[in-house]
Structure 1
Amino acid sequence: MRRFRLSSLFVGLLILPFVQAQAEVVQVTGRAPVEGALSYAREQAMEDALHQASLQAGAQISGMQLMEKGVVSTDTVRVSTRSQVSDVEILREDTVNGMYEVTIRADVDEAALCPASVQSYRKAVAVAGFGLAQPQQATLGRLENIEQGLPRWLAAELNSGGGVHALDATRISLYQDPRRAPSAETAQQRLTTSVALATQLGAQYVVSGVVRDLALHTPQKTGFASRLMGFSSAPTRDFVMDVFVHDGLSGAMLFQRSYRTEGQWEAPRNEKTGFATPQFWATSYGNEVADILKRAAGDVDEMLRCQPFMARIVRARGNRLHIEASAAAGLRPGDTLKVYRTGTLYNLDLEPRTELTDMAAEAVVKQVQPQFVIAELGSPAERLAIQRDDMVIAW
């Protein structure tokens, strides 16, 4: 009897569940034995150098063991990478102890771990209100509305991308003390708050955040000559925010990133500018903030694109399932979804964890209503023990 055991491990700086594309300059040396024509050894050394350069940006390692009668007969490991190498410069070539060596410098573009997702369904995301860590800093310019104005702007930007259906939950905040978020919240509190919000709105993920700093830095007084030469005396204002994404099913944090910028605040000191108003965007500071918000929205959109589409089963009767997914998700009659049973697993600290079990069953979409979807199983739900709060997933 033969058994296969498959394993997969992603190697690299994987602080987050996805790796965003970025470029870096690397210097590596490729080697190959000189066993025949020198040109062939040079070609092999160059291939080795390019392969090493691509591995600098992360790799995927997969292994397979083939067992016969309890004994490992085959054990293989494969290393692959999706990185792209460009602008290659040869720094040195030489033959050392029977090995041809080539040292190169190159730009390596690190590709995302999910460059082309198979499914294109829009994931429902609840965008909660952002906390303001130092409310007194919002007094100048009357930026107090940033707690709701910023996430609303972020939700609109996410919706414009087409891959996310962002829902307005800006009147709800996940953190009681924004100054200490998210470390001040226990795992159980995050679980309770984010899951409750996601369940209430029918969302798969919850986006939240904290505005850390809006400090104003008044420049030193400039002399007449400096003003004559056009040096600006407008104060500089900081903008620092943290963005978080929680899974709506388990409450786990999937994404956490800090964004920081600054710009000149030219608005009059007594003006009630407000956040995201035409007067706000007219300032240099507003332009800088707009750029950083677009970058944050892009990062969140990219992270969510790497995640599967998931929706709750709200009713299971006979062969028919009612699924909590709106028409905006993009599901169409004939689409197929895998069915998973939800359960609770407790770790050593007796903290609950959500567990999904593959039921080896598929549901075919039959009807798409404005607020829910109807799908059919090949067997009755009672036979498969499929019930309310179980999940359907499209990978």
Structure 2
Amino acid sequence: MKYFSFLLALMSCLLSPVSANAEWIQVTGQADFDGQRYDLARDRARQDALKQALLQAGARVKSDQRVSNGKISKDYFSVSGEARIRKSVLQDEFVKKGILNLVMNFDVEEVASCPDSQAKKYRKKIAVLGFSVQSPAQLRLGGFHNIERGLASALNQSLQLQDKLVVFEQSEFSLHQDVINAPSHFTSQSTLTKAADYAKQVGAQFVISGVVRDLSLEDPEAFSTSYWAKLKRMSNNANIKRRFAMELFVHDGYSGAIIWQRSFAVSAPWEDDIDDLSGFGTAEFWNDEYGLAVAQLVDGVATLVGEQLECQPFIARISRVDGKTLHFNSGASSGVRPGDKFSLYRTYNYYDADMLAGTELTNVKTSLTVSQVHPGFASGSVSMDPGRINIQEDDLLIAW
């Protein structure tokens, strides 16, 4: 018998990316410039240059723009494929006919990610839960009382751009109660159980949870009502930056165990008035400098999650046993096709020395061949009678 913890350890280190060739590519990135906010136009021109370089190198790039009142309020892109930027060099920068041009050289490296993995061709299902907040008092600035669901929605939108993921937003649920210590030994069993329950509800293989750690101002005195503070703000000599820090957890949906976690942080100028209550995730929020910095961070988080899950095994839960025909909860939307083969695993519950529940797997050394495929589910047959090996609902099919 293989214990599920061993499976998770194997999943975490399975098939890490291997570097291949590198080359220099020159491109010109462009962005509209109306004479205001040169920094934003420059950032968009640089993103345009980056997209062009990656496309020339053979990567797949998806972009998404949100427009409000005729202006771009959010502009981001995601990258998938086998290319990575190692270094960039600015060659020239000029404005011509209202267009900012950046001529840039990029050192682009080809990357072969898990080339021998059968699981790579499938889209894994992932559920995004609502975020918890470590310091609720910090939500007053900007009226961020909707951030628990707003941040989950923003992450959901960015994850939707990843080719190999099927994303479900479950932002009405949150996972962490003791947010200061999350995740901790004392809350681990409850957390694992809740994560697995949420995953089963939507048929997800992975669950994302998180905690917003810090939304504080770097210098709260910069926003005081004193004459001196107002004078410093008017002369652009005040530190008006606000922090944004979050910690993200990716859980295995069958055991609830955390298979990847990381902290992220950024700070950017808070340009709104101290009494502004526009809220998190509004068009006004995404259009200011702080919102743009948060958007870029969230997009980076989504890209990292996609990279982490790309080489993980593809796992589907058996939903019904009908003679030699087994039905399971993944279909065409996950990339399953007739003729595909999956290894069959029995699941068992066990308790460790601390009486904490866990799941262990047994490879029954037989495979299922897919015969019928529907958008959200599929079915296939096995060569032997499932009753002989005691195959039941909630057992698993795995592609490595």
Q: Structure 2 length normalisation: TM-score?
A: 0.68
1:114 and 2:119 correspond: no
Conservation of the 8 A alpha-carbon contact between 1:128 and 1:208: yes
Looking at both structures, which has the greater relative contact order when contacts are Cα pairs under 8 Å and sequence separation is at least 6?
2
**CA–CA separation in structure 2 for the residues paired with 1:239 and 1:172:** 22
1:361-372 equivalences in 2 (<5 Å): 361-372=366-377
**CA–CA separation in structure 2 for the residues paired with 1:338 and 1:290:** 40
Pick from 264, 275, 284: which aligns with 2:269?
Answer: 264
Q: Counterpart in 1 of 2:176?
A: 175
The Cα of 1:393 is off from its aligned counterpart by 0.6
Q: In 2 relative to 1, CA 302–379 (structure 1 residues): closer, same or farther, beyond 3 Å?
A: same
1:275 and 2:276 correspond: no
**CA–CA separation in structure 2 for the residues paired with 1:386 and 1:290:** 45
The count of aligned residue pairs is 299
Q: Counterpart in 2 of 1:213?
A: 214
Q: In 2 relative to 1, CA 18–214 (structure 1 residues): closer, same or farther, beyond 3 Å?
A: farther
RMSD, aligned α-carbons: 3.1
Deviations 1:228-277 (A, max 9, x none): 8x635462101110000111111111011100110001012232221111
Q: Counterpart in 1 of 2:385?
A: 380
The Cα of 1:327 is off from its aligned counterpart by 3.1
Q: Structure 1 length normalisation: TM-score?
A: 0.69
Pick from 347, 357, 380: which aligns with 2:352?
Answer: 347
SS in 1 for 2:363: strand
1:314 and 2:315 correspond: no
Deviations 1:178-204 (A, max 9, x none): 232112653311221111111111111
SS in 2 for 1:246: strand
**CA–CA separation in structure 2 for the residues paired with 1:301 and 1:332:** 22
Unaligned runs of 5+ in 2: 1-5, 20-83, 88-108, 223-227
Q: What percentage of aligned pairs have identical amino acids?
A: 40
Conservation of the 8 A alpha-carbon contact between 2:18 and 2:113: no
The Cα of 1:205 is off from its aligned counterpart by 0.9
**CA–CA separation in structure 2 for the residues paired with 1:308 and 1:369:** 21
Conservation of the 8 A alpha-carbon contact between 2:130 and 2:148: yes
Deviations 1:27-61 (A, max 9, x none): xxxxxxxxxxxxxxxxxxxxxxxxxxxxxxxxxxx
Deviations 1:130-169 (A, max 9, x none): 0011111111111111100111111121111111111111
The Cα of 1:280 is off from its aligned counterpart by 0.9
1:152-191 equivalences in 2 (<5 Å): 152-183=153-184, 185-191=186-192
SS in 2 for 1:273: coil
Conservation of the 8 A alpha-carbon contact between 1:234 and 1:265: no
Unaligned runs of 5+ in 1: 1-8, 24-83, 88-108
**CA–CA separation in structure 2 for the residues paired with 1:383 and 1:112:** 41
SS in 2 for 1:136: helix
Higher alpha-carbon Rg: 1
Deviations 1:5-30 (A, max 9, x none): xxxx9xxxx9x64798799xxxxxxx
Deviations 1:62-91 (A, max 9, x none): xxxxxxxxxxxxxxxxxxxxxx9x99xxxx
List structure 1 segments (4+ residues) > 6 angstroms apart after TM superposition: 18-23, 109-113
Q: In 2 relative to 1, CA 391–269 (structure 1 residues): closer, same or farther, beyond 3 Å?
A: same
The Cα of 1:319 is off from its aligned counterpart by 1.3
Conservation of the 8 A alpha-carbon contact between 1:18 and 1:112: no
1:1-395 equivalences in 2 (<5 Å): 17=13, 114=114, 117-119=117-119, 120-183=121-184, 185-216=186-217, 217-218=219-220, 220=222, 221=228, 231=236, 233=238, 235-395=240-400
Conservation of the 8 A alpha-carbon contact between 1:124 and 1:329: yes
Q: In 2 relative to 1, CA 234–284 (structure 1 residues): closer, same or farther, beyond 3 Å?
A: farther
